Structure 1
Amino acid sequence: MLTNGSKLLLAGTTLAAVAAIVYGVTQDGTLGVVGLLSAAIALGLLAGIVIATRDGNVSAMDEAAAQTAVATHVAPEGNIWPLIVAGGAALVVLGLVTQSAFVMLGIGLLLIAGLQWMVDAWSQSASADGTFNRDARARFAGPLEFPLLATAVGGVVVFSFSRIMLFLSKTAGPVGFVVAALLILAGGFLFASQRSMRSTAVAGLTAFAALGLVAGGVAAGLDGERFIEEHETTGLLGEESECDTTDETHADENASQTVGNKAAIMADITLDAEGELTSKAPGQQASQRIVVGRGNPSNIIFHNESDEPRRITLTTGQRPLLDEEGEEIEGQTTPDQRCTALAEEGGSQLLTFRIDKRSAVADEAFELTVPGVEGQAIEVVVP
């Protein structure tokens, strides 16, 4: 006996075959005939499958088939994990053209949602009793998913909030922080002021707030962080071999002119009013030489008693010159320097350094100098 589905497919097969014959007789060319015959073959194949399976119907005379038919099974419960998997895949694609952080977030969502989807599929097929299936899932996944879910939600909230704060300007950032705190306070007061509130309402409001935060974080992340000016430091002067300058740099602005009590001071270096540079180690006479242990952090204090701002510079030979990508440029070198900020008249600066090479095998002498003061240097000996 033919079913309704098989009748429709057989009719479509016949119609396509007749149309192919009519087209071949009345029209030139074979493209239309090939297309109609292909449609007839495809429809005929589907008709054969439907006839063989009786259109998915189960005969009332077949008791075994009636008991094992799909219609007798409990329909699986719906879940949100496929939607989250799709969202994770979208974040991965978005991150490939924007920021790598979105790729990592998307991969995390894919892993978590895929695992949850798998657990749901297993639990729903455990038995025909929905209550038993839900209990089985809770016993299996509960001890794992709650800590992981809390960690994931916390990470997403922190990351989204950080993107928003880094997007806001220097003046708008504190205002945004205060507004967020006020919204949280108002939400907490709203919940506390109600005698009773449905759990669905609480969950809905919380989800709405979280969605807004994540959406704001994504939008701010796509737009990029605000411009943050790079502040020059004395370490950067040394890296760029610009410690010989006598001009005031960004690193010298508002620099402290005093040094607190420090332990393990190697020496006090003083530039007096006559322009003479001397070194005095604790318990020793003033000299033009200091001995520094190789590989040990060392501290010296520079005292400027001249009438001009000065800085002290430590030069320990040459080092390879690096390009913009941090790669060594073959055959080119630059002075290996460290320096302090400018010390005003009567001011002091601290210089902390470590030397990992011996001075005896170096091509140039290791010395402490003051840019702008000629003929004065303190020899640095590294055994």
Structure 2
Amino acid sequence: MFSTGSKYFFGITFLGAIAFAVYMVLIGESAIGGTALFGLVGATGLLTGLVLFTRDGSHGEEGVAASAAAPTSSIWPLIAAVGATLLLVGTITSTVVTLLGVVLLLAALVEWSVLSWSERASSDSSYNASLRKRLLNPIEFPVLAAVGLGVVILSFSRITLAVNKSVGAIAFIVLGSLVLAAGVLFSVRPNLRRGLVTGICVLGAVGIVAAGIASAGVGVREELVLAKEEGHYMHQECGVEKSEHFDKLPLEGVSATSSVDTHIDLIDGKLVASVQGIAGNQETITVPRSNPTNIVFRNKTDGEFRLVANLGSKMLTDGVKEDVVQCTQLIPEGSEQLLTLNIPKPAAVGKPFTLTVPGLAGQSIEVIVP
């Protein structure tokens, strides 16, 4: 029989050996880390042997009552060991692994502590078990339900990212119908065997998770890979041509609650500006520095046009500059769209900021930033 002290030292030795092995595999040989962990394993191993040999200084088992009940078997010590291992591995690999280790350790600490306390509550094992359930079930069931729901949602997301959009819609309709049918069956036949109900639920959950794992192995569909690489929706395309992504489903109206300072109208191919509080059409507009300014572009010309704000250039790296351009989407005749400018500094001498319409030469409005 292992004594109490030897169990503690054996656990420390085991965890130290795992940490040493993981360190050597993932980090490689190190004069400091490897030596320190190896020394820890050697020292705790020696102490384990000494404690086993001396039996913690005990000369017998006379202090243990023969009628003492054995503790209930539990998986929480194993989970605690896994959590500690993940915590050590996470310090040299990933933050996610560290967080998972912390969560497992906290769960094992709470569950193991309550289990140990409930076993000493009385001499009736059934009452002790009911006491533990009464205390932990209100916490365990919501947590397990949330974790299960998260796994199902994650599996669904992997499926939809892997299959075609139309196929994904059909798949969700079918899956939703199956879930609804199962719910109706359980409600109209409440006397179904518990094993059958459990089997149906487990089979459905395993099927969804398996499909999610398979979809994750396949990866996302090609169009999403291209969208991520090229950043379709992260940059504006302000040319004459219609952009496949930026001009998709353009906004064709402006909210009545928008705080609008200036209206830019394209009337029969001519660009004119009207500023709130100033009578008549203007050839220049003034925009306050570092202050958001809302401009409404209204297309009153046959065809689709966009308003482009040319705001100079900015330095990316030494000797490399990039033009600063903002624009609306292409909008048809009779539509309007909001363009918000936030200009941090005035234009360089001889290079004024302008508002233009691609495809219409000679039509521009100067933007003055004091």
TM-score per shorter chain, which class? Answer: 0.5 to 0.7
SS of the residue 2:262 aligns to = strand
TM-score, normalised to structure 1, is 0.63
Match for 2:154 among 159, 164, 168? Answer: 159
Q: Which amino acid aligns with 1:298?
A: N
Gaps of 5+ in 2: 1-48
168 and 128 in structure 1: CA distance in 2 versus 1, 3 angstrom threshold: farther
| 1:336 equivalent in structure 2 | 324
- 1:280 aligns to 2:269 (yes or no): no
Match for 1:301 among 279, 292, 297? Answer: 297
TM-score, normalised to structure 2, is 0.65
Contact 1:270 1:279 (C-alpha < 8 Å) held by counterparts: yes
* 1:238-257 alignment runs, 5 A limit: 243=238, 245-251=239-245, 256=250
SS of the residue 1:148 aligns to = helix
Contact 1:268 1:279 (C-alpha < 8 Å) held by counterparts: yes
- 1:268 aligns to 2:263 (yes or no): yes
| 2:178 equivalent in structure 1 | 183
The 2-side partners of 1:112 and 1:218 are apart by 26
1:172-210 CA-to-partner distances (Å, cap 9, x unmatched) read: 212221222222223223323435345455445434433
The 1-side partners of 2:168 and 2:84 are apart by 32
Contact 1:252 1:342 (C-alpha < 8 Å) held by counterparts: no
- 1:316 aligns to 2:304 (yes or no): no
1:97-155 CA-to-partner distances (Å, cap 9, x unmatched) read: xx998997787566535643453344335554312422442344344333333333332
| 2:25 equivalent in structure 1 | none
1:26-49 CA-to-partner distances (Å, cap 9, x unmatched) read: xxxxxxxxxxxxxxxxxxxx9xx8
Q: Which amino acid aligns with 1:250?
A: E
The 2-side partners of 1:271 and 1:194 are apart by 67
Q: Following TM superposition, by how much is the alpha carbon of 1:224 offset from its aligned partner in structure 2, in angstroms?
A: 2.4
Q: Which amino acid aligns with 2:241?
A: D
Match for 2:219 among 211, 217, 224? Answer: 224
Q: Which amino acid aligns with 1:236?
A: H
Q: Following TM superposition, by how much is the alpha carbon of 1:333 offset from its aligned partner in structure 2, in angstroms?
A: 1.6
* 1:98-177 alignment runs, 5 A limit: 108=103, 111-112=106-107, 115-124=110-119, 128-177=123-172
SS of the residue 1:182 aligns to = helix
Q: Following TM superposition, by how much is the alpha carbon of 1:266 offset from its aligned partner in structure 2, in angstroms?
A: 2.6
362 and 259 in structure 1: CA distance in 2 versus 1, 3 angstrom threshold: farther
Larger Rg: 1
| 1:259 equivalent in structure 2 | 253
> Percent identity between the aligned chains?
33
